[in-house]
Amino acid sequence: MQSIKPILLPCPYFGSIEYFSNLISNEYLIEVNDYFVKQSLRTRCKIYGANGPLTLTVPKARKNSSKTLFKDIKINYDYHWQKEHWESLTSAYRSSPFFEYFEDELLTLFQKKHTFLKDLNLEMMTFICSKIGISTEFNLSDSYIDKSDYVDKRMHNFDHIEYPRYMQVFENKFGFISNLSILDLLFNEGNNSKAYLESINR
C-alpha cells in the first residue's frame, strides 16, 4: 500500500541506497528551496574503501549569512576535491564487476565545475538514475514546501538500516555494510541495481 502522503526528500550528493529506493514507486518531491543543512546527504556520501567506510564531502563556499537556501549554495574549488573523490572511487571500486562500464562517463562528470551544489547533485542523480533505469524527470519544489502535506525525510541520513546482502569488494575484510551510497550498489550490481531497490522499497 502506498503512503497517503508523498515523501519530501533532500537533494543529495550520490545519495544512499535507501534514498534511491524512494524514487522508484513512491510519490515524492525533492526540496531545493529549504535552508541548507550541514553534514547531510546534500554534501556527502559514504562509500566502501579499502579501510572500511569512507565519507566523501563536497566543500561549499563560505555563506554570506547564517541562513542560505540550498539552491543558492555554491561549491568551493579552492582545493582539488573532485580529483580526491575520483581517486577514492577508483581505489575502492576498480576491481568491482561494473566500475569499468561507467568509468569514462563518470570521470567526465567529475571534470566539470558547477557553480551551484544543486546543479552538481542533480547531474549526478541524472547519471545514476539513467544507468539504473529510474525516471530522470525529477519532481523538484518550486518554492518552500509546507512539510505537513508530506512524509518529511529531508533530515534523514538513512543510516543503520539493514538491507539484504550483495557482493562488495572488501566484504572479506570488514563484512557487508548496508545502505552505502548508491554508487556502491551500481558498481557491484550493475543492471541488477533496480531490482535490488525494488526489493527493499517500502
Q: Do 154 and 8 contact (CB within 8 A), yes or no? A: yes
Q: CA distances (Å), 133 to each of 23, 65, 117, 156, 162, in order?
A: 11, 39, 24, 24, 24
d(CA 88, CA 15): 17
pLDDT tens digits, one per residue of 116-146: 999 999 999 999 999 999 999 999 988 887 7
Res. 51: pLDDT tops 70? yes
- Would you give the distance in Å from CA 79 to the centre of its chain? 22
- Would you give the distance in Å from CA 145 to the centre of its chain? 21
Q: Do 189 and 132 contact (CB within 8 A), yes or no? A: no
Res. 186: pLDDT tops 60? yes
Half-sphere exposure of 107 (CA within 13 A, CB side): 9
Pick the closest to residue 71 from 152, 140, 171 (CA basis). Answer: 140
Specify the pLDDT at position 1. Answer: 46
The grid cell for 152 is: 518529511
DSSP for 86-135 reads: HHHHHHHHTTSSSHHHHHHHHHHHHT---SBHHHHHHHHHHHHHHHHT--
d(CA 88, CA 75): 19
pLDDT tens digits, one per residue of 62-115: 765 568 899 999 999 999 999 999 999 999 999 999 999 999 999 999 999 999
Distance spanning both ends of the chain, measured CA to CA: 9
Domains of the chain, by residue range, sit at 7-200
d(CA 49, CA 167): 14
Q: How many CB atoms lie within 10 A of CB 167?
A: 10
d(CA 110, CA 75): 13
Q: How many CB atoms lie within 10 A of CB 144?
A: 12
Specify the pLDDT at position 123. Answer: 97
Mean pLDDT over 14-39 rounds to 87
